[in-house]
């Protein structure tokens, strides 16, 4: 169980309070994101006009296409700057199944590659609402299966980890479950799950967060789920809400979340269920951290990123 002191207001670092105020003020000054079509919001986000700062592109990144269930899927790989690849980290980006891209977190993936010896491979899966469920999960499943086949030869390793942020953490767990249940495979050695949305019917923290513009509000979650499930789907289905799944036989996982994240309960609940299923689980809770606060420079961000690096390095030996 996490230390109750982590959730008290006086546990929040002053730097984090200032950062949250700056983020909220920036978002309040922006146009309502839901007044634009998804493709416009994607373009604005790619230019750094949303809540997250723009990320420079890595000169080391290599992009290539693999066969997917409905056409090519683009993968973006960043290898360690020095030394041989010790394994592959399959990364799935966030963005509410609607926004984001594989090339919008290159600095973080470079850091993972250099700190752990893992080649980071990020998936450009199809996005809602143009491509609602099950398109995104299908593409992530296909990318994982490719890594188990041709990817072993390309990267000369079968050591695999998986992870992602927000919707990416959700898709990472769905991918693990699909490999286990549809293919009888449990090939991943670690799961790095950051601020995931694991119950699309909404956990209490997601429902109660309200309209505060601290990166992710209750309204945002509701709209993202609506886009993702545009063609229907039962939130009680474990393929949609992995919190409802049988979680036995999954790899060690690190759950990272801030206490000012609307999806706080998703990580708290999933970490408990992960452990109850007999799996190793670590829960890292950061006082006052907003949704995916790791995208913003701060002392708390460095603390969180360093812990993720240690976790992935430990499980790539």
Question: Does the annotation count 261 as an active-site position?
Answer: yes
Sheet holding 188-194, edge to edge: 62-68, 71-78, 118-124, 87-92, 160-165, 188-194, 253-258, 281-286
Query: Which entry of 91, 122, 131, 166 is annotated as an active-site residue?
Result: 166
User: SS3 string of the chain?
Assistant: CCCHHHHCHHHCCHHHHHHHHHHHHHHHCCCCHHHCCHHHHHHHHHCCCCCCCCCCCCCCCEEEEEEECCEEEEEEEECCCCCCCCEEEEEECCCCCCCCCCCCCHHHHHHHHHHHCEEEEEEECCCCCCCCCCHHHHHHHHHHHHHHCHHHHHHCCCCEEEEEECHHHHHHHHHHHHHHHHHCCCCEEEEEEECCCCCCCCCHHHHHCCCCCCCCCHHHHHHHHHHHCCCCCCCCCCCCCHHHCCCCCCCCEEEEEECCCCCHHHHHHHHHHHHHCCCCEEEEEECCCCCCHHHCCCHHHHHHHHHHHHHHHHCCC
Query: Which entry of 291, 304, 315, 316 is annotated as an active-site residue?
Result: 291
Query: Which entry of 261, 266, 267, 304 is annotated as an active-site residue?
Result: 261
Residues taking part in catalysis: 166, 261, 291
């Amino acid at each position: 169980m996490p230390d109750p002191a982590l959730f008290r207001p006086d546990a929040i670092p002053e730097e984090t309070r200032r950062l949250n105020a700056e983020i909220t003020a920036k978002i309040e000054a922006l146009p309502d994101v839901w007044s634009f079509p998804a493709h416009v919001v994607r373009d604005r986000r790619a230019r750094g006009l949303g809540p997250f700062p723009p990320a420079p592109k890595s000169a080391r990144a290599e992009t290539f296409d693999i066969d997917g269930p409905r056409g090519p899927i683009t993968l973006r790989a960043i290898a360690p700057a020095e030394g041989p690849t010790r394994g592959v980290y399959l990364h799935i980006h966030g963005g509410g199944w609607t926004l984001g891209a594989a090339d919008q977190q290159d600095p973080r993936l470079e850091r993972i590659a250099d700190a752990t010896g893992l080649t980071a491979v990020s998936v450009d899966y199809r996005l809602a609402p143009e491509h609602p469920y099950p398109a995104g999960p299908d593409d992530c499943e296909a990318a994982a299966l490719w890594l188990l086949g041709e990817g072993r030869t390309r990267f000369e390793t079968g050591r695999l980890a998986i992870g992602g942020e927000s919707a990416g953490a959700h898709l990472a767990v769905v991918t693990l479950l699909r490999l286990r249940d549809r293919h009888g495979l449990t090939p991943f050695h670690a799961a790095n799950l950051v601020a995931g949305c694991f119950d699309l019917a909404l956990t209490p923290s997601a429902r109660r967060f309200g309209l505060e513009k601290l990166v992710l509000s209750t309204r945002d979650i509701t709209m993202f789920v609506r886009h993702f499930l545009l063609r229907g789907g039962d939130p009680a289905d474990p393929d949609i809400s992995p919190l409802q799944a049988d979680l036995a036989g999954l790899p060690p996982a690190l759950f990272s979340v801030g206490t000012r994240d609307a999806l706080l309960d998703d990580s708290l609940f999933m970490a408990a269920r992960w452990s109850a299923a007999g799996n190793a689980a670590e829960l890292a809770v950061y006082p006052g951290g907003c949704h995916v606060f790791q995208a913003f420079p701060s002392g708390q961000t460095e603390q969180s990123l360093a812990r993720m690096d240690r976790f992935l390095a430990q499980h790539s030996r």
